[in-house]
A and B are shown apart, each in its own frame.
Chain A
Amino acid sequence: MISEEINLKLLKLFFDFKLKPSDFMNIYKKIKDLKATADYFLKKKNKNSMLFDNDMYRPKNIHENLNSLIRYIDKNAISILNISCKEYPALLKEIYFPPPLLFCKGNNVSRNDNIKIAIVGTRDCSEYGKEVAAYLSAQLSKIGFTIVSGMAIGIDKIAHQEAIKEKGGSIGVLGTGIDIKYPYENKYLYEKIIENGGIITEFLPGIPPLKSNFPARNRIISGMSAGVIVIEAKEKSGALITARSAIKENREIFAIPGNIFSEKSKGCHALIKAGAKLTESVDDILVELENYIKNPLYSKSIDFNKIENNKIENNRNFKLGHSNNDKFESGFLNEKDAQFTDCGNLKKFPDEDYSKVYNCLGYRSKSLEEIMIGSGLDVKKTIQVITFFQLNNIVKEVNFNNFVKVGKI
């Protein structure tokens, strides 16, 4: 039930009276009392002010009237946070224009004792971007950070996916109403993220994806986070909008360097040139966030025992989508075929042909024909070895018939 009277009043203002949240916030900043502000606008409504014709925040809303909206919110366990309540994200309150109302869903969404960090990047990411996103997200979440991102495909999706498996969990910030699954291919993520983390949005339920709403969402991503990690971004990218609003709000910016020839690195490199922290490891991030980590408010949620074993040098073998444990399962390689290192990695190859192919591979992609010539093997054997490596995430096919080494043995 929406118990608080003030939430009902605010819903009435934004839904029925079409009040602009920015107008609301302007008055709220002066009065500094939520209830008084709401009453002010309710009174003003009677005078037919021009303020009340904002269609942007509720165009063609699927909910017919306020009552059906309230019923819907109650039925679907959507919680409402207003700017004055204590569950409202602490950092978000401090930004220039915080949303007066937040709709959220999920278990840990209203926690305020964890450090939130945003991971953003392009939807159309490369293998490298995916790997970095998965690595950073999983490592940071293991330590106890909560990963905030935008629930889009590409970098966002991977960051969420990895984080919800770990301790810290993940929060997805939507650019639509909370009941809209956009993009639809993330529908499984919506269900999973609620279990460890949650989703959050400033838009009323039923608001469809609109181009103009996404930059507004980006300010919430950066606003509620202590820092923003930009993994891959083109020159004109939504990730850069997030980064810019983070700069405005004085958040830390971490940019991941990339290939200088790739379009997808241009945005990150521009950020580094402008003074963002060049980030190579989790340590780079932790150094900059020292103030937060030392803050007694947050220190409970951080567990540094996890980080000691996870220096990036030791962890080049981190594989996308597979934790180290299930990389080699019992039946796939026999004991006599292979020897394993402590962390479950393959140390020795089944036979000589495997090492021939392995030595041939590099971080520059090679075609099957090049590998055949380099290793001196026939096509049958080469395909077999390459498939073996692919299955064990040592090799990846990046473009058609271009194989590249992704892990070290």
Chain B
Amino acid sequence: MFFKLDSFSLIGIEAVKVGVEIYISRGMPSFIIVGLPDKSINEARDRVKASIINSGFTFPMRKIIINLSPADLKKEGSFYDLPIALAILVSSGQINDNYFNCSCFIGELSLDGLINPVRGILSMAQKAASIKKNYFFVPKGNENVAGLIKNIKIIGCHDLIECIKILESKEELKKYVYISKKFNGVHSRRYDIDFSEVKGQSRAKRAMEIASSGFHNLLIVGPPGSGKTLLAQRAITIMPDLNYDESIEVTKIYGLLKRPNCELIIERPFRNPHHTISEPGLIGGGIYPKPGEISLAHKGILFLDEFSEFPSKLLESLRQPIENKSIVITRNNTSYKFPCSFMLILAMNPCFCGYFGDKNDKCKCSKKEVERYWKKISGPILDRIDMQVNLPRLKEEEFFGNILTETSHAIKERVKKAFAIQNDRYKNDIIRHNSEAGASYINIWMNQNKDLGKIVTDLSKKTQLTARGISSLIKISRTIADLDNSDEITRDHLIEAFQYKILSI
């Protein structure tokens, strides 16, 4: 007897519909799964058999063939235990097939019939909604995340018996539909770190505020102990909370990790990989590609501390993701696309010994050595970094003095306003921040104030900025103007933006 029900597979961040087909026939008792399954799917045979028997049903002693279609797509993961078990029970006549047409299923079975949570649930729920299914059966524990998707009824099942009970009648189905909680990003996370803890460094703080407001990349150069890491870690505390759509996007990416119980992520990610990270770790990869650190930092901050210690190959591989805001990984004839719109913060010492530019001539490096040190970082990478700021070692009186500094909350309010202005500006566009704006926007801004053209020409003549440098200069000044609540970029904004283009090394 033939039967078919729908389930899902993951390609990168996107889910695709996979049909689980079953054919039970006479013959030597056997249980075969075809359709390019991986090891974990093949092992489903034993899990399914045990859980069917342990749930009080009988396992048919016939020839069972399971096909996962499309058959030429490689599949991995333990998603298909529940659909396979249900297919066996239906096609062996133990339960009826009332609501299977309008439903889809996902879940990993335990030997005792319990359904365990799986990963990638948000992508699958989205797909289920888009192919117009009514019910999506997910494991208990996954339903709160899946419930965020509109236009699909989510049913969280605890075990196989419960799942079958729910499928018996319409009343039961209605009873078990998960009612999602209202999304509120209001209860924003309180961080135990704060900007006011960083003394002095007004310029770097201002740079951090501007960078966070417009999602500009930032390079911090300073001697050891000047507070580079301290500042970078606190950048996350001044950024507005994620909105609903962003939360969904970030949760989708985190849902792909082997961490199935993940809740909706409402705080911006802050990723701080060590410099011994491998290329697949940073960019994403593997046999079945998983998102790397750059994707995990989506909508948040990727902080590369001790930037110069990273292997140059890794840094060069960052070039495209910085520009494109997404990364395409191609493996086994399939391309996997992960979003990676992150704000990059880089921190490094100015030279080998670390003290170049220190007021007390502490540096032991020769000029040659300093140059060699900077040569490690390629021009194309530096060109892609919008803002550069240096961080001096703190003076004693600044460290022990009681100069009041702003709290993260105060800065966050300003950044929020700048975010709101940008949201309004780009409401009809796919971009969200000034740093992503293209040439058309830059032209509009330049035309608003006729004087700008002349000033920009003068500035670029003086400092030999590249074309990319000039456009990022204008984008930074746009962000400064947004922080100022100004409609057009003025000369003052442009001049301030220029401060972050002249790194005095």
Contact across chains for A391 and B495 when beta carbons are under 8 A apart:
yes
Name the residue on A nearest B401 (C-beta): A369
A384 near B: Cβ within 8 Å?
A: yes
Contact across chains for A397 and B504 when beta carbons are under 8 A apart:
yes
Docked complex: B195-250 residues within 8 A CB-CB of A: 200, 202-203, 205-206, 221-223
B367 near A: Cβ within 8 Å?
A: yes
Contact across chains for B202 and A368 when beta carbons are under 8 A apart:
yes
Bound-state CA distance A365–B392 (Å) is 13
Q: Which of A124, A384, A391 contacts B462 (CB 8 A)?
A: A391
Chain B contacts for A331, CB-based, 8 A = 451, 453-455, 457-458
B170 near A: Cβ within 8 Å?
A: no
Contact across chains for A401 and B390 when beta carbons are under 8 A apart:
yes
> Knowing A123-B367, A367-B395, A400-B222 touch, does A383 contact B499 (C-beta < 8 A)?
yes
Docked complex: B355-376 residues within 8 A CB-CB of A: 357-359, 361, 366-367, 371
Chain A contacts for B206, CB-based, 8 A = 379-380, 383
Docked complex: B408-455 residues within 8 A CB-CB of A: 451, 453-455
Docked complex: A47-104 residues within 8 A CB-CB of B: none
A332 near B: Cβ within 8 Å?
A: yes
Q: Which of B202, B359, B392 contacts A379 (CB 8 A)?
A: B202
Contact across chains for A384 and B492 when beta carbons are under 8 A apart:
yes
A 296-334 to B, binary, CB cutoff 8 A, 1 in contact else 0: 000000000000000000000000000000000111101
Chain A contacts for B357, CB-based, 8 A = 399-400
Name the residue on B nearest A401 (C-beta): B392
B459 near A: Cβ within 8 Å?
A: yes
Chain A contacts for B499, CB-based, 8 A = 383-384, 386-387, 390
Bound-state CA distance A390–B499 (Å) is 9
Bound-state CA distance A391–B473 (Å) is 15
Bound-state CA distance A402–B495 (Å) is 19
Chain A's interface size range is: 20 to 34
Bound-state CA distance A388–B398 (Å) is 26
Docked complex: A354-409 residues within 8 A CB-CB of B: 365, 367-369, 372, 379-380, 382-384, 386-388, 390-391, 397, 399-402
Chain B contacts for A390, CB-based, 8 A = 499, 502
Contact across chains for A379 and B457 when beta carbons are under 8 A apart:
no
Contact across chains for B359 and A399 when beta carbons are under 8 A apart:
yes
B498 near A: Cβ within 8 Å?
A: yes
Contact across chains for B454 and A332 when beta carbons are under 8 A apart:
yes
Chain B contacts for A367, CB-based, 8 A = 200, 392, 395, 398
Contact across chains for B498 and A387 when beta carbons are under 8 A apart:
yes
Docked complex: B41-88 residues within 8 A CB-CB of A: none
Q: Could you tell me the distance in whole angstroms from the C-beta of B290 to the nearest C-beta in chain A?
A: 40
Bound-state CA distance A185–B458 (Å) is 27
Bound-state CA distance A124–B499 (Å) is 26
A 206-237 to B, binary, CB cutoff 8 A, 1 in contact else 0: 00000000000000000000000000000000
B309 near A: Cβ within 8 Å?
A: no
Contact across chains for A399 and B495 when beta carbons are under 8 A apart:
no
Contact across chains for A379 and B496 when beta carbons are under 8 A apart:
no
B340 near A: Cβ within 8 Å?
A: no
Bound-state CA distance A384–B390 (Å) is 16
Bound-state CA distance A334–B458 (Å) is 13
A153 near B: Cβ within 8 Å?
A: yes
Q: Could you tell me the distance in whole angstroms from the C-beta of B495 to the nearest C-beta in chain A?
A: 5
Contact across chains for B392 and A402 when beta carbons are under 8 A apart:
yes
Chain B contacts for A383, CB-based, 8 A = 203, 206, 496, 499
Contact across chains for B392 and A400 when beta carbons are under 8 A apart:
yes
B391 near A: Cβ within 8 Å?
A: yes
Bound-state CA distance A397–B499 (Å) is 11
Chain B contacts for A330, CB-based, 8 A = 454, 458
Chain A contacts for B492, CB-based, 8 A = 384
Q: Could you tell me the distance in whole angstroms from the C-beta of B408 to the nearest C-beta in chain A?
A: 16
Q: Which of B361, B371, B391, B504 has the most CB of A within 10 A?
A: B504
Q: Could you tell me the distance in whole angstroms from the C-beta of B228 to the nearest C-beta in chain A?
A: 12
Bound-state CA distance A123–B370 (Å) is 14
Bound-state CA distance A400–B200 (Å) is 13
> Knowing A386-B499, A390-B502 touch, does A400 contact B390 (C-beta < 8 A)?
yes
Q: Which of B359, B366, B498 contacts A402 (CB 8 A)?
A: B359
Chain B contacts for A185, CB-based, 8 A = 371
Contact across chains for A369 and B205 when beta carbons are under 8 A apart:
no
Docked complex: B313-359 residues within 8 A CB-CB of A: 350, 357-359
Docked complex: B378-395 residues within 8 A CB-CB of A: 390-393, 395
Contact across chains for B451 and A334 when beta carbons are under 8 A apart:
yes
Chain A contacts for B393, CB-based, 8 A = 400
Q: Which of A365, A369, A384, A388 contacts B200 (CB 8 A)?
A: A369
Bound-state CA distance A267–B338 (Å) is 61
Bound-state CA distance A25–B114 (Å) is 101
Contact across chains for B496 and A153 when beta carbons are under 8 A apart:
no
Contact across chains for A380 and B496 when beta carbons are under 8 A apart:
yes
Bound-state CA distance A232–B391 (Å) is 28
Bound-state CA distance A124–B371 (Å) is 13
> Knowing A153-B367, A379-B205, A400-B357 touch, does A329 contact B458 (C-beta < 8 A)?
yes
Q: Could you tell me the distance in whole angstroms from the C-beta of B10 to the nearest C-beta in chain A?
A: 47
Bound-state CA distance A384–B496 (Å) is 4
A 136-147 to B, binary, CB cutoff 8 A, 1 in contact else 0: 000000000000
Bound-state CA distance A367–B395 (Å) is 9
Bound-state CA distance A383–B477 (Å) is 13
Q: Which of A334, A369, A379, A402 contacts B398 (CB 8 A)?
A: A369
Q: Which of A124, A386, A391, A399 contacts B366 (CB 8 A)?
A: A124
Contact across chains for B390 and A369 when beta carbons are under 8 A apart:
no
Chain A contacts for B398, CB-based, 8 A = 367, 369
Contact across chains for A387 and B367 when beta carbons are under 8 A apart:
no
Q: Which of B359, B459, B495, B502 has the most CB of A within 10 A?
A: B495
Chain A contacts for B223, CB-based, 8 A = 400
Q: Could you tell me the distance in whole angstroms from the C-beta of B395 to the nearest C-beta in chain A?
A: 7
Contact across chains for B495 and A387 when beta carbons are under 8 A apart:
yes
Q: Could you tell me the distance in whole angstroms from the C-beta of A356 to the nearest C-beta in chain B?
A: 15
Contact across chains for A400 and B504 when beta carbons are under 8 A apart:
yes
Name the residue on B nearest A262 (C-beta): B361
Name the residue on A nearest B390 (C-beta): A400
Q: Could you tell me the distance in whole angstroms from the C-beta of B277 to the nearest C-beta in chain A?
A: 29
Bound-state CA distance A295–B253 (Å) is 83
Q: Which of A185, A367, A372 has the most CB of B within 10 A?
A: A367
Name the residue on B nearest A385 (C-beta): B495
Bound-state CA distance A388–B458 (Å) is 13
Q: Could you tell me the distance in whole angstroms from the C-beta of B482 to the nearest C-beta in chain A?
A: 13
Bound-state CA distance A379–B391 (Å) is 15
Q: Which of A372, A386, A397 has the most CB of B within 10 A?
A: A397
Given contacts A332-B455, A387-B498, 19 further A-B contacts (CB under 8 A): A124-B366, A185-B371, A329-B461, A331-B453, A331-B454, A332-B454, A367-B200, A367-B392, A368-B202, A369-B202, A372-B202, A382-B202, A383-B496, A383-B499, A386-B499, A391-B498, A399-B392, A400-B391, A400-B392
B interface with A by C-beta (< 8 Å): 200, 202-203, 205-206, 221-223, 350, 357-359, 361, 366-367, 371, 390-393, 395, 398, 403, 451, 453-455, 457-459, 461-462, 492, 495-496, 498-499, 502, 504
| CB<8 Å pairs between A and B, sample of 23 | A124-B367, A329-B458, A330-B454, A330-B458, A331-B455, A331-B457, A365-B359, A367-B398, A369-B202, A369-B398, A379-B203, A382-B202, A386-B499, A387-B495, A387-B499, A390-B499, A399-B392, A400-B357, A400-B392, A400-B393, A400-B504, A401-B392, A402-B359
